[in-house]
Amino acid sequence: MTTRLVLLADTHVPVRARRLPDDVWRAIDAADVVVHAGDWVDVETLDALEMRSRRLIGVHGNNDGPALRARLPELARVRIEGIDLAVIHETGAARGREERVDGLAEERPDVLVFGHSHIPWDSTTPAGTRLLNPGSPTDRRRQPACTLMTCAIDGDVLRDVALVPVVRS
């Protein structure tokens, strides 16, 4: 069985956008699992994603207040099919990121989804952990477009990782 995922981070509703763009909702509707790597900012976005997602995995970020922190962990770890997936908001500076993740030793996941920078990232550490940052669907910062990521897990294989531009509605 193939599990389709949509990866989100840094939605910042209502600070950066009044609501999530329609492209995001379409991606959520098509996904088996929605992963959100923090900086939701409002509880209403979490509530909406919980109601609309088949399965939601989320963490809190540095801009998330006490209400979100009470409902979301700093680090989430799940097994989806044969993949050990971890989600965290911040991983520190881009320089040295792969080495820091590899330093996790036996706790090292197969895939680590993170946010914070609003800058998409897709790399693999020397030890084999895939690092994914979907960017932000509402605040592109210095990027050409707002973004999210989609991917699929098929057994113990992560495949079809795609950075998807998001049109702000």
Q: Tell me what pLDDT residue 105 has.
A: 64
Write down the domain spans for the chain. Answer: 2-166
| CATH of span 2-166 | 3.60.21.10
pLDDT tens digits for range 19-78? 999 999 999 999 999 999 999 999 999 999 999 999 999 999 999 999 999 999 999 999
Give the per-residue pLDDT at 151: 98
Mean pLDDT taken over the chain = 94
Any idea which residue has 């995001």 for tokens?
A: 24
Q: What's the predicted TM-score (pTM) here?
A: 0.95
Q: Where are the beta strands (DSSP E) in the chain?
A: 2-8, 33-36, 56-58, 75-80, 83-88, 111-113, 121-124, 130-133, 146-154, 157-166
